[in-house]
Each structure stands twice: as C-alpha cells, then as structure tokens.
Structure 1
C-alpha cells in the first residue's frame, strides 16, 4: 500500500498545481475536466448515497451533488483527505477492503484512480459487494491502450506505443516529468484484463465512453451489479 500512500507527500502539489493550474479544466486527463462523463454515465441520484472510491482531494463532490447524489468517500492517503474533508464525508481506508457493509449504497464511482491501486480487480469486487442489487458503478480512468509506461505522448498528435502494453505491472516510467506517474508510479492492466475484472466481480457492462483527441486519454465504463434493483 505504500504506492498509494505516496500521495501523502505530493498532496499539496496535486491540489495546487496539478488540479489548479491554468489548463486544468481543458486537459483531457485532468480530473477536473471529467464531470461531463459522470453526468452521461452516472445520471441523476435523487438524494441517494454515492461512494467515490479514492476521492483524492474531493474535486468531484460538487459535481455529484449537482447530479443529485449524496457523495461519500474512502481514500488511503491522509494527505489527500486533508483537502477532501471540507468537500464531502470521508473515511481513510483501503479500497480493496472497504469499511462499508454489503449492499448499502446505490452507486459507486472511481475516477482516475485504477492505476493507483495495485490490485484493481479486488477493488472491483469490493465495489460490487457494497452496491445494492441493480446499483450502478462508473469507472473513469486512463485509457489502457494509449496511456502507460509503454506510451510516449510527447507528440499529442502521434502517440507512440512501445513494447509493454500486454504486461500487467507497476512502473514509474513516464513520458513527462510534470505529471503524476514519475512521482507516485502507476499500475497497468491491458484492456482485456481490465474488462475481465468487471465481469469476474459480477458487474454487468452497460455503456462505454472514450475522451481525448485525437487519441483517447480516458476510457469510461458504466456497469451494474447483477440482481433486481431495490424497490
């Protein structure tokens, strides 16, 4: 878990510089620019609870409230939660062992965090466990085909995919020293491994979206816990 806790030492930089820079909302991979995907895939909440796995500094709480959800979150990093506490109710904990009872939330979201979690398939199992039958799960993450230690994005119009895409591993390799991955590292799952993680967790895939031009930086998935929705 030390990989995720690495955010403790960069939490202030993340909030001030990475999220708060002048191009923060315009960059396809910056979390601040992804609220439209939450709207498209998650939809309206009518006041129901929505668990955000790995909220970081809590930048999506306002958007979730706009959509009618009551956001709560679990994150491992105390440094990131120091910023998040004023934005939504939070608890410090491991995403692979959520401190939440079975079938207790209507929706779960994970936004730009799956590469921060060494065992994301275990996190997907936990998301399915805490969802009510018929509950919705929205994953928004870096695109597994075009982002990672194998992808050189120096030229935004011509991404070079080098050997390594098929390797599920952890790396600090990055095409830039101004981002996150050279600082905290990243896990990688090829597309097949990521999608099998949903299926193995008992999540039924419903919709997909890609974001970024000309080569997608983000891939999003809407899935639902199997079973009849609660009345």
Structure 2
C-alpha cells in the first residue's frame, strides 16, 4: 500500500474536507450505484480491503451484508471505527482464514497498492468458493499523470499510459487524494490479468462518469 504516514497525515483532511465535498456533490463518480449493482444484496461478512474511513459501510449494510474493514493507516481507521469493525493489517497478508468470507470489496484503492496482484491473490484466498469480489477503482486508461483534462469535454492521453508499475503524484487536479499521496499505474491488460492470475473468474464490468469514464468496476467470483 501507499506509505502509511502519507494517509495518516491526510486522514483528518480526508474525513472533514474531501468526503464532505464529495457528499455535497452527490456521488459524482457513482461509486454507490456501481457497488449496489455489482455487489448486490447478500448475507454474511463483506470484507473491505483498504477501507480507509469506512464510508462505504452504510451501503454494504443496507444491502444486507455485515461490513468489516482492514487498512494499513491507523489515522484512517480512527475515523472508520464508528462505522464498521476494523483491523489494522497489510492487504497482502490479510488476518483471515482461507475461504472464510462470502464477499470482498476494494473501493478506489488499487492505485494505493503497488502489490495489488498480491492483494488480489489474498482476496481470492479468503473468499469462500463461489464468493464475490468487487473492484471499483480509477480507470487505468483515463486516469493518471498522462491524462490531460484541460478540456472538460475530452481527455487527452499523453505518453505514459503504456508504462507499468510506476508511482507518481502527477494528477490533473491538485485538489484530490492522488496529488497528496500519489498513485501506482498499471495498464488495463496488466490489471485484468492480475485477476486471472489470482484464480478469479471475471463476470461483469462497468465504467462510470461521462463523457470520459474515470471509473472502472469489475465483478469476479471464486470458482466453486
């Protein structure tokens, strides 16, 4: 994951300013709609990897699941504890037994995790056979230092998209999380192959926002 201190340092800003601004805008990235559609209603534990301040727990609970979260940042978890049960843990070494949960979600965190392929393997390990994994994150093709959003009607993709595994704080805005803590970039084929290499079966896809899809959502299952 991103260095712990980076998120510890911005935890209060994230909770009191960034989330408040997002709430006032009415979920402009449609994260709630995508999660509702891909996770769906269910029962049992839904583990959120990289839960941050726990803002998605209410919707997970509304869908019938029992939310539980893990994150590496103590500062972020300080805000999450009032929203769901949490544990401080490395996403590449989850403190859960094999096949112990029916659902796992990762919300807007894969760019925070340089070892995301290992995170996907851990998600597959802790999922029950037939269990659901939902990934919702920034779209590799349209979000990154290479994406120029100077024109609100279109994104210009400059050199850098095809490069893999690099960390950068370059962003189209200096008012967001990425400009503060940076992000890891992987091209789309590499990201999707990481799901397959983890043994997950890809079942559904969605893209969010217009005219340029800033969000990519993936639903996968663990083979029975």
Q: How would you bin the TM-score normalised by the shorter chain? A: over 0.9
Query: Residues 114 and 120 of structure 1 are in contact (CA less than 8 Å); yes or no, is this contact kept in structure 2?
Result: yes
Give a deviation string over 1:138-158, Cα, whole Å, max 9, x none.
000000100011111232211
- Relative to structure 1, is the Cα distance of residues 93 and 220 closer, same or farther in structure 2, using a 3 angstrom cutoff? same
Give a deviation string over 1:9-67, Cα, whole Å, max 9, x none.
00011111111116442432xxxx41111111011113x10000011100000000000
Give a deviation string over 1:112-157, Cα, whole Å, max 9, x none.
0000001110000000000000100000000010001111123221
TM (norm. structure 2) is: 0.96
Query: Residues 174 and 181 of structure 1 are in contact (CA less than 8 Å); yes or no, is this contact kept in structure 2?
Result: yes
Choose from 94, 115, 118 the match for 1:122. Answer: 118
Give a deviation string over 1:58-86, Cα, whole Å, max 9, x none.
00000000000000011000010000000
RMSD between superposed Cα atoms in Å:
1.2
Match of 1:183? 180
2:41 equivalent to 1:44: yes
Which blocks of at least 5 consecutive residues in structure 2 are unaligned? none
2:151 equivalent to 1:155: yes
Deviation at 1:2, TM superposition (A): 5.4
Between the aligned partners of 1:201 and 1:4, the Cα distance in structure 2 is 25
Between the aligned partners of 1:211 and 1:121, the Cα distance in structure 2 is 23
Between the aligned partners of 1:201 and 1:2, the Cα distance in structure 2 is 21
Equivalent residue of 1:20, what SS? helix
Report runs of 4+ in structure 1 exceeding 6 Å deviation.
none
Equivalent residue of 1:107, what SS? strand
Query: Residues 45 and 101 of structure 2 are in contact (CA less than 8 Å); yes or no, is this contact kept in structure 1?
Result: yes
Which blocks of at least 5 consecutive residues in structure 1 are unaligned? none
Between the aligned partners of 2:114 and 2:59, the Cα distance in structure 1 is 27
Between the aligned partners of 1:23 and 1:161, the Cα distance in structure 2 is 29
Equivalent residue of 2:99, what SS? coil
2:172 equivalent to 1:172: no
Between the aligned partners of 1:98 and 1:71, the Cα distance in structure 2 is 15
Deviation at 1:176, TM superposition (A): 1.3
TM (norm. structure 1) is: 0.93
